[in-house]
């Protein structure tokens, strides 16, 4: 599945254009749209900025071309996967193609896969064009579920499961580098096993404990104003991206002055970090409450997942999407990824304990925890993908398919 197939790959113009895109994709993945400039991309291939403008007139031309190339590859992978006869076969082939692609990038045999998390940071008309291309990809992946024996799965739930599946592909790029590329086929098999078989043992029921949302969001006195500020900022960043969530817009949403913003935070990067800190603290609070309740580890884990899904759609939510990571300077980003990994590690411990006691089936705890983390984070956008979904329905619509199997009723 070459991105440089046919006679065009021998053309000098196309070869140079592809080299620029290769270099720019690495910058885009590392620093986001905000950090991608024509000058930096030019330096990556030994050209002057003026030379790069021969291929891409503006920065957004270059960023959009990187993203569109990635979407085109995923479209081709989805086309190939849809040739398989059954939904599980299609999922297995899509995972195989994607991890093979990431493996080639990791070993230098192919260009990096662009992160699609920063589409919102593009200006129009580029943002609209890339978003439209992504929506076409989304609909194609959703057709993975098309089969007579899947007719029971309604459109809304099918859409939710597609959102969850794509999030697994995108987030895998963040945690796969801890493994050797030669292990990717084994990881593919474990991801597939988790997606199809879920976490639950045979006969287990989906009966999470009620979520104490007010307790999860509780803040006293002096912290309530800061919480309100961070929640407004989180909502804007999730909706419009780092670039679109300006200090003016955050202040206007709260009807406060810009001075109030700088009273809380020295710079916008500090605000993003504070929003991530809030996110991880809520997740840790949920984990602590779940671990303290009665019952086996399956009950505790499913209750934690359900609580976080409800929280995302509640008046207290959402939590900050991991897509905001690309906007942070590298040192800050690494620190927040470390926080995320600690949350995943605690989920992994709960899964390991469940496997030991027999309430969770034997799965890879580390991989399962990353996949759970990705699902819970992606739930922040469930209302966009499934308009009208209620807070109470969110756990069964979005968390249950991962925990009990994506093809399970």
pLDDT at residue number 254: 67
Q: Please indicate, yes or no, if residue 189 is contained in any of the structural domains.
A: yes
Does residue 306 register a pLDDT over 60? yes
Confidence check: pLDDT of 253 > 90:
no
Residues 155 and 265 in one domain: no
Q: For residue 132, is pLDDT > 90?
A: yes
- In terms of C-beta density within 10 A (0-12 exposed, 13-18 middle, 19 or more buried), how is residue 94 classed? buried
Is residue 126 located within the same domain as residue 156? yes
pLDDT > 80? residue 256: no
Tens-place pLDDT, residues 75-114:
999 999 999 999 999 999 999 999 999 999 999 999 999 9
Beta bridge partner(s), residue 200: 360
Check whether 357 has a pLDDT greater than 90: yes
Q: Is the pLDDT of residue 6 over 70?
A: no
- CATH of residue 46's domain is 1.10.357.10
pLDDT higher than 80, residue 128:
yes
* Same structural domain, 48 and 163: yes
Number of domains in the chain: 2
Whether residue 185 sits in one domain with residue 280: no
Domain-terminating residue out of 162, 197, 232: 197
* Residue 248 and residue 191 share a domain: no
Number of H helices, E strands in the chain: 19, 0
**Structural domain ending residue among the three candidates 139, 170, 197:** 197
Which residues are CB-contacts of 310 (< 8 A; sequence separation ≥ 6)?
Answer: 211, 213, 391, 392, 394, 395
Residue 386 domain boundaries: 213-404
340 closest CA partner among 328, 352, 357: 328
């Amino acid at each position: 599945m070459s991105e440089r197939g046919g006679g065009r790959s021998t053309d000098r113009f196309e070869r140079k254009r592809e080299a620029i895109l290769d270099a720019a994709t690495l910058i885009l993945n590392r620093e986001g749209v905000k950090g991608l400039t024509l000058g930096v991309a030019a330096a990556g291939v030994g050209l002057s900025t003026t030379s790069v403008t021969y291929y891409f007139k503006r920065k957004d031309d270059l960023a959009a071309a990187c993203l569109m190339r990635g979407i085109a590859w995923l479209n081709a992978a989805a086309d190939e996967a849809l040739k398989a006869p059954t939904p599980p076969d299609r999922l297995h082939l899509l995972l195989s193609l994607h991890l093979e692609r990431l493996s080639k990038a990791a070993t230098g045999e192919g260009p990096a896969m662009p992160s699609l998390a920063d589409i919102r940071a593009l200006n129009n008309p580029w943002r609209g064009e890339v978003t439209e291309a992504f929506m076409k990809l989304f609909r194609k992946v959703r057709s993975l579920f098309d089969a007579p024996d899947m007719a029971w799965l309604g459109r809304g739930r099918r859409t939710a499961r597609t959102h969850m599946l794509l999030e697994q592909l995108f987030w895998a790029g963040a945690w796969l580098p801890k493994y050797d590329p030669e292990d990717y086929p084994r990881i593919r098999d474990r991801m597939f096993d988790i997606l199809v078989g879920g976490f639950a043992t045979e006969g287990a029921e989906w009966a999470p404990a009620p979520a104490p949302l007010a307790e999860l969001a509780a803040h006293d006195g002096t912290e309530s104003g800061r919480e309100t500020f961070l929640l407004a900022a989180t909502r804007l960043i999730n909706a419009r991206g780092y670039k679109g969530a300006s200090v003016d817009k955050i202040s206007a949403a709260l009807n406060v002055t810009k001075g109030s913003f700088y009273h809380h935070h020295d710079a916008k990067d500090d605000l993003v970090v504070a929003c991530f800190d809030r996110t991880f603290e809520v997740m840790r609070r949920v984990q602590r409450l779940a671990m303290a309740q009665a019952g086996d580890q399956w009950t505790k884990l499913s209750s934690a997942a359900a609580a976080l899904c409800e929280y995302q759609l509640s008046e207290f939510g959402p939590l900050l999407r991991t897509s905001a990571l690309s906007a942070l300077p590298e040192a800050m980003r690494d620190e927040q990824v470390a926080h995320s990994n600690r949350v995943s590690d605690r989920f992994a411990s709960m899964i390991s304990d469940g496997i030991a006691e027999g309430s969770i089936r034997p799965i890879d705890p580390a991989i399962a925890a990353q996949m759970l983390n990705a699902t819970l984070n992606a739930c922040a956008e469930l209302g966009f993908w499934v308009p009208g979904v209620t807070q109470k329905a969110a756990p069964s619509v979005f968390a249950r398919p991962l925990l009990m199997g994506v093809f399970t009723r």
